[in-house]
Amino acid sequence: MSLHDRIPNNVDLCNDRRLQKALEQWQPRFLDWWLEMGPDGFQTKDVYLRTAVSVDRDGWATFEHVKMPDYRWGIFLTPEERKRPVGFGDNPDIESFEEVPGEFRNPLRRLIVTQGDTEPASVEQQRLLGRTCPSLYDLRNLFQVNVEEGRHLWAMVYLLHRHFGRDGRDEADELLARRSGDANKPRILETFNQPIRHWLSFFCFTMFTDRDGKYQLGALAESGFAPMRRTCQFMLTEEAHHLFVGETGITRVLRRSAQLAKLFDGDVVKGGGIPLEIVQRYINYWFSYSLDLFGSEISSNSADFFAMGLKGRFDEEKKYADHSAREGFMNVPVIEAGRVTQRQVPLRNALNEVLRDDYIKDCERAVKGWNRALEEEGSSFRVTLPNRRFHRHLGEYAQHSFTTDGELLADAGTADAYYASMLPSEADEAYVDSLMVGVTKPGAFANWIAPPKNGINSQALDFEYVKL
Amino acid sequence: MADDTTSASAGTLTQFQTDPTHYRHWTLRKDGAVATLALHVQEEEGLGDKYLLKQNSYDLGVDIELADAVQRLRFEHPEVKALVLSSEVARIFCAGANIYMLGKSTHAFKVNFCKYTNETRLGIEDLSANSGVRSIAALNGTAAGGGYELALACDQIVLVDDGNSAVSFPEVPLLAVLPGTGGLTRLVDKRRIRRDRADIFCTIAEGLKGKRAKEWGLVDEAPSKTGFAAAVAKRSADLVTTATRRAAAPVVLPRIDLQQDGLRLAGRYVEVVSDTTTRVADLLVRGPEAVEPCDRAGMLAKGAELWALRAMRELDLCLLHLRVDFPEINIVRVRTQGDVTKLLAVDAALLAHADDGFLHEVRLNMARTLRRYDLTAKSLFALVEPGSCFAGSLLELLLGADRAYGLIAKDGGRLAFSAMNDGALPMSHGITRLQARFCADMAAAASARAALPAAGADIEACERAGLMTMALDELDYEDEVRLAVEERASLSPDALTGMEASLRFPGPETCESKIFARLSAWQNWIFQRPNATGPKGALTNYGLPTRPAFDYRRT
């Protein structure tokens, strides 16, 4: 089968010789990478996967049992019916760029490489989870997330191959050379080097870290560089499922823990579940690490990317009237002389913070849902999000320690002990690990998690989502 | 200080002296014969308070510490045979000079800042070339702009190949200025990076990472993250085994307290009095006293108080203060005072015992200080008067001056050569001040040298030998000098700076002289251009919500 038959696409791959040549070399490397770093132990199994075979309504979600290495990773750009101007920044009225403007070549490449690097990273982080799946339903969801992260890598590689010449091909190779958590060639962003040892972390990751992806892609989906805009728009349709897996996964854990608390007189451990306090500590960990992904609170890059018309705000076109963002300020809390004080930052330099705000609001909405579930289960426990300053590794707050309420902890000794109490301990990790035993009977679910409301694609919960 | 558009003449002087107990940004560690200088810039401890030194970026304060550390390696740590420059901040070696600091600085400050940082880097190269302590830049993370230039000043560069860390010169594409501390010159003249590759490298803001950087010669080695420490250790061990450093006892450098009395700064041997109204300063350097030892044991015992070291350290400080703290001074009258015979004896002793590492360093320090003198953007007029001491090493002050006037008198001043004038104190372009005086006509320089007897000659004889601009009798001297000085002080300081820099260095070029003559000149021009510092300039707009807009007409 020729390359363009194997790769579903709407980018005219069969007539693009340059792209063909690049992909002919890259595609076998991708497969090698997938076999080496993709889901461990399940590569020969049939998995009920959703594949995008075209961009129209029926094509983007075709369900069938397929072996993951045979998954048809495609390249899709969301079609645009009208010509769109750049729409924001310094030159909002000029036509969108179909080709890379030379002056923006480097910043664009950097945006794409940074985004692209996260896609294979998460596959690597999650590669060992299959063995300890709480159900076939969850196992299938894990693999669905994995293959789609693989496809998102393809999407970014397409942009690199199609628009950035030899440098682009080199960068595409580097995307396969870096490894999550590797001592020598780690992934670019630290959050993507953190291990995902068990399913609680997986759900937190898909809830919080993939949600950063939603906002980054959302901002790039406004881009004046049309191919990137259209690629990201299509990726967003897939990303929604990942967020669903995370958000409902945590709901199910919380529900089950609340149920076990009732059944065992408050002793969730005795009931074989995950104590709610532990879940809270994982939320603290992954939420704070995910906040780092938005970058520095005060950023010249964010201003440049916006001014150039390369990266907008989330829902830039729909949500805002003023697309120049040249006027206006944002108050950003910073640490000066040992105190949290407000600094007035020009809006364009605070766009990372604007995006982070949108993200936090979205997470708060999910937390409300989780607490509703706890209430329904008769639990008085409520989960919360830590303050955005807590446990940060990048930006204005990285050099300081804060409580989950955002109060500055001046004393380093106190801060260490405090962080230890608010973040998962080695004992928490070991305990959660101990609950992770693979459950692979169709329709069965591990004791520590409640079943979902519905199956995938209207299938029953006892459907054989993965044929083992 | 950086925002001060006038000067510090009113009182506060820039603190050019520090010591390891006061370092905030560097840590010096020694492991046997290997010294490691590790950078960990404290964001909030910049000299100015309107910027944060993020990402291990530096300002003058950070560089003063570096210069101090290198200077102490020379004198206080003679057992050190290899130097490793590294960083203690994860994933970043150094992001170069702080852009916000530059953006907020006056033009004069930027120029002086660049000059000082250049001299610091040249000091590292001097340590390698003349003291036998070679250096390795251990880039544990990205080295951008001035960070990579610092690495280029080292003999070897090791860059971790972690898929992220890069070496880069983002100045042209991001800031519309040039790498300001010798980067461009060292790329092609020192590391011999092919010209087209250098061209590409200098226009991609994010630079090049491990494999490609190694392939292009931008770094010498690009080990993996886990192999990085071992690679650096191996290289430093190799440098130690082949090092040629002379043996010496350690000599601690004490702080030099210049007495400040209004506009007068005075040390034991050097003083400078500035008159900000006439824009003239008087610099006086005293020669060694009669008791100055000339025997090996005596010289070593005197240590840091040795005239040849103490006087030059004072001169160095005065020159720095003149440059940075007294911008309105246009012209310096340079005088010396002392016993010519004694000075010639001191010079001879220093050279006779050059096998001692300490005395060798004393001479190198003298050479560096005199190069700082050559590169000071003030008009330098040497005045030879009765009791003066323009002999040997101090004769260099006259040979390096723009003009030399002398008073003919009974028992008037005389000039005398010592072996110090024959190449021990080279200028930045590699020749002696005597040779430069004769426009690199080596025969003419040699005949002028031969025209003077060993004990020296009076200024009329020196004028005939081409060593004096004018020898004047008492009827003419005072008025002639006054007129010359007043006339000079009235001319455009900018034009004078350019004119002097062009006339002072005839003859060949070296990497060092190119850095100042070419790069600095271009940089200073670019710094003034609207495309960099105008309202729409890239440097002005860096970090602001607005984007630069260039005037695309070439000049």
Question: What DSSP line would sit under B251-314, residue for residue?
Answer: ---PPP--EEETTEEE-SSEEEEEETTTTEEEEEEE---TT---SHHHHHHHGGG-HHHHHHHH
User: Is the ipTM above a cut-off of 0.85?
Assistant: no
Sign of the C-alpha dihedral computed for residues B168, B172, B177 and B179 taken in this order: positive
Of B371, B329, B376, B400, give the one whose Cα is nearest residue B510.
Answer: B371
CB B69 within 8 A of CB B54: no
Contact status, residue A180 vs residue A193, Cβ threshold 8 Å: yes
A175 vs B: CB within 8 A: no
Residues of B in contact with A184 (CB under 8 A): 161-162, 224-227
Whether B248 maps to a domain, the answer reads no
* A–B CB contacts, 8 A cutoff, strictly below: 56
Helices (H) and strands (E) counted in chain B, each on its own, are: 22, 21
- Do B197 and B266 reside in the same domain of the chain? no
A325 at interface of B, judged by CB pairs closer than 8 A = yes
Of B161, B209, B545, Cβ closest to residue A348: B545
Residue-wise pLDDT tens for chain A (468 aa)?
577 678 888 998 889 988 998 889 999 999 999 999 999 999 999 999 999 888 887 777 889 999 999 998 989 999 988 889 999 999 999 999 999 998 899 999 999 999 999 999 999 999 999 999 999 999 999 999 999 999 999 999 999 999 999 989 999 999 999 999 998 889 999 999 998 999 999 999 999 999 999 999 999 999 999 999 999 999 998 899 999 999 999 999 999 999 999 999 999 999 999 999 999 999 999 999 999 999 999 999 999 999 999 999 999 999 999 999 999 999 999 998 889 999 999 999 999 999 999 999 999 999 999 999 999 999 999 999 999 999 999 999 998 999 999 999 988 788 999 999 999 999 999 999 999 999 999 999 999 999 999 999 999 999 999 999
Domain range for residue B478?
Answer: 259-503
Residue B8 lies in a domain: no
Find the Cα–Cα–Cα–Cα dihedral B293, B298, B300, B305, rounded to 10°. -50
Residues 6+ apart with CB under 8 A from B244: B132
Q: Which helix (H) or strand (E) holds B437?
A: helix B433-437
How do residues B453-499 score in pLDDT, each as one tens digit?
999 999 999 999 999 999 999 999 999 999 999 999 999 999 999 99
CA distance A331 to chain B (A): 15
Which one of B242, B269, B302 terminates a domain? B242
> Which of B56, B159, B162 would best serve as a mutation to test chain A binding (most A beta carbons within 10 A)?
B162
Answer yes or no: do A183 and B163 touch at CB < 8 A: no
Task: Say yes or no: B200 and B285 in one domain.
Answer: no
The answer to whether residue B312 sits within a structural domain is yes
Contacts of A90 in chain B (CB under 8 A): 547
Residues of B in contact with A170 (CB under 8 A): 212
How wide is the angle at C-alpha B384 spanned by C-alphas B383 and B389, nearest 5°? 120
Mutate which of A109, A185, A327 to disrupt the B interface (most B C-beta within 10 Å)? A185
pLDDT of residue B11: 63
How far lies A423's CA from each of A197, A263, A279, A384, B484, in Å? 15, 27, 10, 13, 76
Q: Tell whether A308 lies on the interface with B, counting CB pairs under 8 A.
A: yes
* Residue B228 and residue B121 share a domain: yes
Determine whether the interchain pair A325/B204 forms a contact, defined as Cβ–Cβ distance below 8 Å.
no
User: Which residues, at least 6 apart from B149, have a Cβ–Cβ distance to it below 8 Å?
Assistant: B96, B121, B179, B180, B181, B182, B183, B186
Residue B439 and residue B474 in one domain: yes
Q: Is residue B532 situated within a structural domain?
A: no
Residue B493 lies in a domain: yes
Q: Which of B224, B226, B547 sits opposite A307 (nearest CB)?
A: B547
**What's chain A look like in SS3?**
CCHHHHCCECCCHHHCHHHHHHHHHHHHHHHHHHHHHCCCCCCCCEEEEEECCCCCCCCCCEEEEEEHHHCCCCECCCCCCCCCECCCCCCCCCECECCCCHHHHHHHHHHHHHHHHHHHHHHHHCCCHHHHCCCHHHHHHHHHHHHHHHHHHHHHHHHHHHHCHHHHHHHHHHHHHCCCCCCCCCCCCHHHHCCCCCHHHHHHHHHHHHHHHHHHHHHHCCCCEHHHHHHHHHHHHHHHHHHHHHHHHHHHHHHHHHHHHHHCCCCCCCCCCCCHHHHHHHHHHHHHHHHHCCCCCCCHHHHHHHHCCCCCCCCHHHHCCCCCCCCCEEEEEEEECCEEEEEEEEHHHHHHHHHHHHHHHHHHHHHHHHHHHHHHCCCCCCCCCCCCCCCCCCCCCCCCEECCCCCEECCHHHHHHHHHHHCCCHHHHHHHHHHCCCCCCCCCCCCCCCCCCCCHHHCCCCCCCEEC
Q: Are residues B198 and B329 in the same domain?
A: no
Reduced to 3 states (helix: H, G, I; strand: E, B; else coil), residue B444 is: helix
- Under DSSP, is residue B217 helix (H, G, I), strand (E, B) or coil? coil
Any CB–CB contact under 8 A between A398 and chain B?
A: no
B163, closest residue in chain A (CA to CA): A185
Please indicate, yes or no, whether residues B78 and B221 belong to a single structural domain of this protein. yes
Of B213, B242, B271, the domain-final residue? B242
Residues in B closer than 8 angstroms to A396, CB to CB, are none
Domain end, chosen from B459, B486, B503, is at B503
State the DSSP H helix or E strand holding residue B384, giving kind and residue range, or none if neither: strand B379-384
Residues B76 and B151 in one domain: yes
Return the pLDDT at A5: 74
User: Is A399 within 8 Å of B544 when comparing Cβ atoms?
Assistant: no
Q: Any CB–CB contact under 8 A between A307 and chain B?
A: yes
| CA–CA dist B121, B66 (Å, integer) | 9
Beta carbons of A308 and B543 less than 8 Å apart: no
Q: Which residues of B touch A183 (CB under 8 A)?
A: 224-226
Same domain as B280, residue B207 = no
Domains of chain A in start order, with CATH, are: 3-467 (1.10.620.20)
Q: Does A165 touch chain B (CB under 8 A)?
A: no
Q: pLDDT at position A272, please?
A: 96
With beta carbons under 8 A apart, name residues in chain B contacting A120. none
Cβ-nearest to A106 among B205, B543, B545: B205
Contact A347 B547 (CB under 8 A): no
B144 located within any domain: yes
Nearest CB partner across the interface for B547, out of A90, A177, A184: A90
Q: Which residue of A has its CA nearest to B549?
A: A90
pLDDT score at A59: 77
Kindly state whether A176 is in contact with chain B, defined as any CB-CB distance less than 8 angstroms. no
Tokens 């520590």: give the residue. Answer: A448
Q: Using CB atoms and an 8 Å cut-off, which of residues 335-364 of chain A contact chain B?
A: 346-349
| From A107, A188, A325, residue closest to B164, measured CB to CB | A188
CB-nearest partner of A184 from B43, B225, B543: B225
Q: Does A183 touch chain B (CB under 8 A)?
A: yes
Q: For residue B167, give how far its alpha carbon lies from the nearest alpha carbon of chain A (Å).
A: 15
Of B43, B161, B545, nearest to A326 by CB-CB distance is B545
Q: Is the domain of B400 the same as that of B325?
A: yes
**Chain A residues with CB-CB distance to B212 below 8 A:** 170
A102 in reach of chain B (CB within 8 A): no
| Residue of B45, B169, B197, B546 to mutate for A, most A C-beta atoms under 10 A | B546
List chain B residues with CB under 8 Å of A399: 43
Residues B278, B360: one domain?
Answer: yes
Joined tokens for residue B462: 């020196």
Chain B residues whose beta carbon lies within 8 Å of the beta carbon of residue A325 = 545
Nearest CA in chain B to A104: B173
CATH number, domain with residue B35 = 3.90.226.10
Question: Are residues B300 and B428 part of one domain?
Answer: yes
User: What are the structure tokens assigned to B15, written together?
Assistant: 């603190």
User: Is there a contact between B163 and A174 if contact means CB atoms under 8 Å apart?
Assistant: yes
Q: Which residues of chain B have pLDDT under 70?
A: 1-11
Assess if residue B437 is contained within a domain: yes
Domain count for chain B, please give it. Answer: 2
In a domain, B13, yes or no: no
Where do we find the tokens 């009732």?
A262
Tokens describing residue A414: 């106190």
* Nearest CA-CA distance, residue B204 and chain A, Å: 7
Domain match, B179 and B281 both: no
